[in-house]
Structure 1
Amino acid sequence: MNKPDIACIIDDDKMFTYILSKQMKLVGFSMSLLVFHNGMEALKYLEPVLESPEDLPDVILLDLNMPVMDGWQFLDEFTRFDIQKKITVYIVSSSISQADHVKAASYKEVSRFYVKPIVMKDLVDMVNNMNT
């Protein structure tokens, strides 16, 4: 299992991001972790570093329902970037709506949809799927 250098969580639930970051550390998910509490915060970080692929995350775990800029709005902006690096995007949401699953599948950047809560096995699967 080759772990990502930089992982990114975009989720407004601070308790969830805290627990998820601890789980990620336990499974050795990535070398470093970025956490943003809405899509706008993430975009403000990503836009200036687009020309520096080493500063971009290898994987993004994205919630859908957030204030300021939700996951769909983030994806719409993110897909407009000309990114010179493969970034794997996983939707991590409490949504069980079939419409959300179908919509997520319509984005070629989205690799998979995970329904919260995330368990450590899911994190291992994420890394393994990135390497295939």
Structure 2
Amino acid sequence: MADKATIYIIDDDEIFQFITRKSFERLERNDNLFFFLNGEDALSSIKEAISGNKPSPDLIFLDINMPIMDGWDFLAELIKLEGEMKKTPQIYMVSSSIDDKDLIKSKTYNMIKDYIVKPIKDTHIKELLNNLN
């Protein structure tokens, strides 16, 4: 994968967002990073991408528990848009939760590549970026 992917970080934890941004800076890539505090704002951005006004995401880091629209609600809405998207993003569910119910539920979504317990290490991000189609 080239050093230029469009990546959405959808998480209401501003510390996680800061740490993730710093991880990408350390990887010295030229990715387009978009940060959202809830699923609703990210979904609006994806709808704009569908209409051609923004790049659509190649990769999404998605938190479960957020205000306004949580990760599960975001996925339900994203699935409705799947036929309109030019490409299906790789989604990684990120959470501080180690609840088996969340892990099991995440496996019921074909769009979710993996469930990652926070924090995400630089080496893990690099590996995920190398595996982008």
TM-score when scaled to structure 2? 0.90
Q: 1:90 aligns with which of 71, 89, 92?
A: 92
2:25 partner SS: helix
Q: Percent identity?
A: 36
For residue 30 of structure 1, report the CA deviation from its aligned partner.
Answer: 4.9
For residue 21 of structure 1, report the CA deviation from its aligned partner.
Answer: 0.7
One-letter identity of the residue aligned with 1:76: A
Query: Does 1:42 pair with 2:42?
Result: yes
- Compared with structure 1, are the counterparts of its residues 105 and 14 closer, same or farther at alpha carbon in structure 2 (3 Å cutoff)? same
For residue 52 of structure 1, report the CA deviation from its aligned partner.
Answer: 2.9
Task: Tell me, yes or no, if the aligned pair for 1:4 and 1:58 is still in contact at 8 Å.
Answer: no
Q: How is 1:13-52 mapped onto 2 (pairs within 5 angstroms)?
A: 13-28=13-28, 30-52=30-52
One-letter identity of the residue aligned with 1:68: I
One-letter identity of the residue aligned with 2:71: G
For residue 4 of structure 1, report the CA deviation from its aligned partner.
Answer: 4.5
Would you say how many aligned residue pairs link Structure 1 and Structure 2? Answer: 131
TM-score when scaled to structure 1? 0.90
Mapped to 1, the partners of 2:29 and 2:101 lie a distance apart of: 30
Partner of 2:80: 80
Partner of 1:107: 109
- Unaligned regions of 5+ residues in structure 1, if any? none
